[in-house]
Amino acid sequence: MTARNNILDKLRTGLAGSTPRPDDFDESLVTQPWQYTPEDRIQRLRALMEAVHTEVHQLPARDWPGMVQTLLERRALGNLLYAPGTDYGEQLAAHWQASGAAPDLIAYDRPVEEWREELFWKVDASVTSTVGAIAATGSLVLWPDRQEPRLMSLLPPLHIALLKASDIEDNLYGMMQKQQWSAGMPTNLLMVSGPSKTADIEQVLAYGAHGPKELVVLILEDL
């Protein structure tokens, strides 16, 4: 613990006799420039996400499982990773059964250690929920948990995210306040603003660096 004490002692010596600076955080600076009407909010989110190669669809909430099926079939993908313990997971499974959709449904239902190889290399696509989105920056907010593990939105080449239209907030500050993030953070909270990309070679933009090559957002309109 000497390193700890030495560091803290040096810092305290440096501050001796001074008082902490006041908290003059002005929330208007991060909210006022980023406010939208309900229609603009969705439009902005779409525009920003599409600008970074995200495919966005708006559809009635009940239609999404069919849309997922279409997206997979259009790409001739063989399987889809999903979270069986969630409401939407049940809806998806029900649809799959009813429609006889071809791609295999893979349930994320065991610890990563038990199927690392398969998860890293064999999964074609995944579908996850989101807890909302931020119009100002075109970002989805993901709150992974027991039912919906964090690798779901990272490993598969195609990630399909479900977003309720009513969960779109204007800006990050508003989102934090509304969902009271500081009252209890999950182990891993994520903001995702498009498919994985890099510009490390000559600043040429290339998608699909290490994470998903494609991101599809389904904006579900509540009826």
**Cβ closer to other proteins: 4 or 98?**
4
Using CA atoms, how far residue 186 sits from 22, 81, 205, in Å, is 29, 22, 32
Q: How long, in residues, is the chain? A: 223
**Cβ closer to other proteins: 69 or 153?**
153
What is the C-alpha to C-alpha distance for residues 29 and 77, in angstroms, rounded to an integer? 45
**Cβ closer to other proteins: 15 or 102?**
15
Smallest gap from residue 186 Cβ to other proteins (A) = 7
Helix (H) or strand (E) holding 7: helix 2-15
Is 41 in contact with 181 (CB distance < 8 Å)?
Answer: no
**Cβ closer to other proteins: 7 or 102?**
7
Smallest gap from residue 101 Cβ to other proteins (A) = 25
What is the C-alpha to C-alpha distance for residues 151 and 144, in angstroms, rounded to an integer? 9
Beta strands 132-134 and 139-142 are antiparallel
Smallest gap from residue 61 Cβ to other proteins (A) = 27
Give Cβ neighbours of residue 88 (< 8 Å, ≥ 6 apart). Answer: 64, 127, 129, 162
Smallest gap from residue 140 Cβ to other proteins (A) = 11
The two tokens of residue 45 are 């989110």
Smallest gap from residue 122 Cβ to other proteins (A) = 12
**Cβ closer to other proteins: 69 or 139?**
139
Give Cβ neighbours of residue 56 (< 8 Å, ≥ 6 apart). Answer: 45, 46, 49, 50, 216, 217, 219
Smallest gap from residue 143 Cβ to other proteins (A) = 10
Is 160 in contact with 192 (CB distance < 8 Å)?
Answer: no
